[in-house]
Homo-oligomer: A and B are copies of this chain.
Amino acid sequence: MTAFTVLMAFQRETEALAQVMGRLEWDQQTVMPPGAARQRAEEMAALESVLHARRSDPRLADWIAGAAPPDAAGARALALIGREHARATRIPLRLAAETARVTSLAQGVWAEARAGDDVGRFLPVLAEVVALKREAAAALADGAEGQDARYDALLDEYEPGATAAGLAAMFAELRPRLVALRARILGVGRTPPALAGRFPAEAQLRLAREVAGVFGYDFGRGRIDLAVHPFSSGSGSDVRITTRIDEADPLGCLYSTIHETGHAAYEQAIDTAHALTPLGRGVSMGVHESQSRLYENQIGRSRAFASWLHGAMARSFGDAGAAGPEALYAAANRVVPGFVRTEADEVHYNLHILMRFDLERDLVAGRLETGDLEAAWNDRFAADFGVAVDRPAHGLLQDVHWSAGVFGYFPTYTLGNLYAACLWQALAADLPEAEAMVAAGRLGPVTGWLRERLQRHGGLAPPRETIARACGFAPAAEPLLAYLEAKFGALYRL
């Protein structure tokens, strides 16, 4: 057996164990009995130790050095294993264990602080988390210098190859035009009505299954369940999605289902030859989000899809809750001022992300301390959203990410939106009939274009290159701005 064969066999087991972790997370958020939480934490910690030990196994370095990959895919897999190994070995076990302990605690404190609107309760533990993440960032940066070297080292976990400077350059175009767009829309002073009626939970779930099927979700290798915060989970032949149901608002269930179907469709489409290798998963969070956002927004919130959806909703509920397809389209694209990211419309959403990106970048670099964070948040919010934060639960305390030690993740949401708009522009040019197909609920050719151009390659190319190859051009901010300005310009007759 060659070093490459030995390495890939070892990695296959590691990938399988990582999938097991995904099963535990799915279980925890869908079916786990409430009293099992503490024991589950120990089960997951034990499995995490096994994974960390494997990823930092000293034999990996020898196998990697001695491996002769047989082809380009093998070379790419080798590079990804080496990258994961380097990251795992740079974090001392003591720091990993301490971070796990503190963030587990911090998430509990955060939930209490949010419930009590009490920033003071949260800040001390957040300061501990930030200190640990700065230490991790310094270790991962491995001597690299520059004002964003440490933030980049964290970002690299979620979006390999991306840099804060590169993202900031793309994002810089967004902020002024988004702020201007929201001001023009709200200046119209006319918000389309939301849907009216009651939509029984069972009928919503049936429709969610139907819609996931229309978007190409393969139920033979997945399933839909309920969860408080919808997510998708797993790679290969077991990719599950979840949704949530509010009987007053069927669009919440529908669009979270379509969003998660986008994530899952990506995983399900990856070439089975890559299964249980580092190429057998979505290549980055940004690319993943490009699929979920494109399914949800460019397709799901389009005028064309609204015309199909109105019929499907009328069949499911007797009454779609909107006078016709155009009213449904308007209801699915209401632009309303609000404080909360997860409830934001397409126009406001990226403004939320841009501010979090700037704040966490400053936190990691040491240019901002947690004691000054709330003021920085509130100032920026007032500047971009035109209103003052009314309470901490609607401000600094709204997101779980930082309490969980997740820094460098937020920008991948907006990156996903940028990528989605680029892909949609390329797709529409290639498939002029796309709109008519979507209106007919015949999504096969549209999702097929994405599958062939992007999804099936998994981790074969780096993230940005994955998008550029699929689009035929380098990703940029302009397509997203053009898409939003055209769509909402027409909707609100600006």
Task: Across the interface, name the chain B residue whose C-beta is closest to A238.
Answer: B36
Mark out the residues of chain A between 10 and 41 whose CB falls within 8 Å of any chain B CB in the assembled complex: 12-14, 16-17, 19-20, 23-24, 27, 31-36, 38-40
Chain B residues near A221: list those with CB within 8 A: 33, 35-36
Contact A12 B238 (CB under 8 A): no
Contact A238 B46 (CB under 8 A): no
Instruction: Indicate whether A384 reaches chain B with its CB closer than 8 angstroms.
Output: no
Given contacts A20-B43, A33-B220, A238-B40, whether A49 and B276 have CB atoms under 8 Å apart is no
Instruction: Indicate whether A359 reaches chain B with its CB closer than 8 angstroms.
Output: no
Complex CA–CA separation, A218 to B42 (angstroms):
21
Chain B residues near A31: list those with CB within 8 A: 31, 223
Closest CB-CB distance, A173 to chain B, in whole Å?
42
Contact B49 A219 (CB under 8 A): no
Copies in the complex: 2
Interface of A is mostly: helix
Instruction: Indicate whether A436 reaches chain B with its CB closer than 8 angstroms.
Output: no
Contact A35 B223 (CB under 8 A): no
Partner of A17, one of B43, B240, B275, B276: B43
Chain B residues near A46: list those with CB within 8 A: 12-14, 16-17, 20
Instruction: Indicate whether A392 reaches chain B with its CB closer than 8 angstroms.
Output: no
Task: Across the interface, name the chain B residue whose C-beta is closest to A40.
Answer: B238
Chain B residues near A218: list those with CB within 8 A: 35
Chain B residues near A240: list those with CB within 8 A: 33
Contact B42 A220 (CB under 8 A): no
Complex CA–CA separation, A34 to B236 (angstroms):
13
Chain B residues near A275: list those with CB within 8 A: 39
Complex CA–CA separation, A34 to B237 (angstroms):
9
Contact A238 B24 (CB under 8 A): no
Q: Among A24, A27, A46, find the residue whose CB has the most chain B CB atoms closer than 10 A.
A: A46
Interface residues on A, range: 35 or more
Complex CA–CA separation, A221 to B32 (angstroms):
9
Closest CB-CB distance, A86 to chain B, in whole Å?
23
Chain B residues near A47: list those with CB within 8 A: 16-17, 20
Complex CA–CA separation, A20 to B38 (angstroms):
14
Complex CA–CA separation, A174 to B31 (angstroms):
44
Chain B residues near A38: list those with CB within 8 A: 237
Contact A19 B43 (CB under 8 A): yes
Task: Across the interface, name the chain B residue whose C-beta is closest to A222.
Answer: B33
Chain B residues near A43: list those with CB within 8 A: 16-17, 19-20, 23
Closest CB-CB distance, A41 to chain B, in whole Å?
10
Instruction: Indicate whether A50 reaches chain B with its CB closer than 8 angstroms.
Output: yes
Contact B39 A236 (CB under 8 A): yes
Contact B16 A20 (CB under 8 A): no
Contact B276 A36 (CB under 8 A): no
Interface string of A215-246 (1 = CB under 8 A from B): 00011111100000000000011101000000
Complex CA–CA separation, A33 to B237 (angstroms):
8
Complex CA–CA separation, A32 to B240 (angstroms):
10
Closest CB-CB distance, A122 to chain B, in whole Å?
28
Chain B residues near A17: list those with CB within 8 A: 43, 46-47, 50
Contact B35 A237 (CB under 8 A): yes
5 A–B contact pairs at CB < 8 A? A16-B47, A31-B31, A33-B220, A35-B221, A39-B276
